[in-house]
Amino acid sequence: MHSIADSPLGPEVSSHFNLDSHGLIRVRQRTRRFGFEVQVQDLQLQPSLIFGMARMDGSKDNARFAVRLELNSGEIWDAAHDTGLIGVLDPTPYPGREEPNHLRLRWQIERAGDALIPRLHLADEEFLYPAVRLLDDAPFVAFTGHDALELESTAIFSASHVWCLDGMK
């Protein structure tokens, strides 16, 4: 993980959250799918998390996907476009559910022409998130953040994986 100097979400987020990069990928016209997955190690340490992917070439377009997860309430907020509440994590335990103190976060984004269609997975649940347009090739950064400023990101996030699958032309 590497600290992100310029927040892909703006200065108000970077002033309240420690943001770290988990890798860069290049999304091309022939890219079919790309994504990012990370494991949260200890939910008790942390009240708020940021999890996302964003275009990183200085373009002013809205090709970014990010959520803020309030662990105290389970609320999931749009952090990239500030459109409001996306959903709430179901706290009810059931057989096969992940350990209550661990949480898997995953973005899976499909490219269909100029549309980027995201799927957000938190634990065993899937949430809808708005699609955006991407007209050209662009670098994307995968990032996480937390507001426990006294903690290192490695105390919270582990086992990250960033991927990009290109089709044949």
SS3 14: helix
Q: Find, among 23, 3, 2, the residue nearest to 14 by Cα.
A: 3
Tell me the torsion sign for CA atoms 135, 132, 16, 125. negative
- In this predicted structure, the answer to whether residue 163 has a pLDDT above a threshold of 90 is yes
Q: Is residue 138 predicted with pLDDT exceeding 70?
A: yes
- Band of the pLDDT at 34, cuts 50, 70, 90? very high
Residue 98 has pLDDT above 90, yes or no: no
| Average pLDDT across the chain, whole number | 84
Q: Is the pLDDT of residue 92 over 70?
A: no
Locate 141 and state its tokens.
């950064």
- pLDDT value, residue 35: 97
Residue indicated by tokens 């309030």 = 70
Q: Which fold has domain 2-166?
A: Jelly Rolls (2.60.120)
Q: What pTM value is reported for the model?
A: 0.87
Query: What whole-number distance in Å separates Cα of residue 23 and Cα of residue 5?
Result: 14
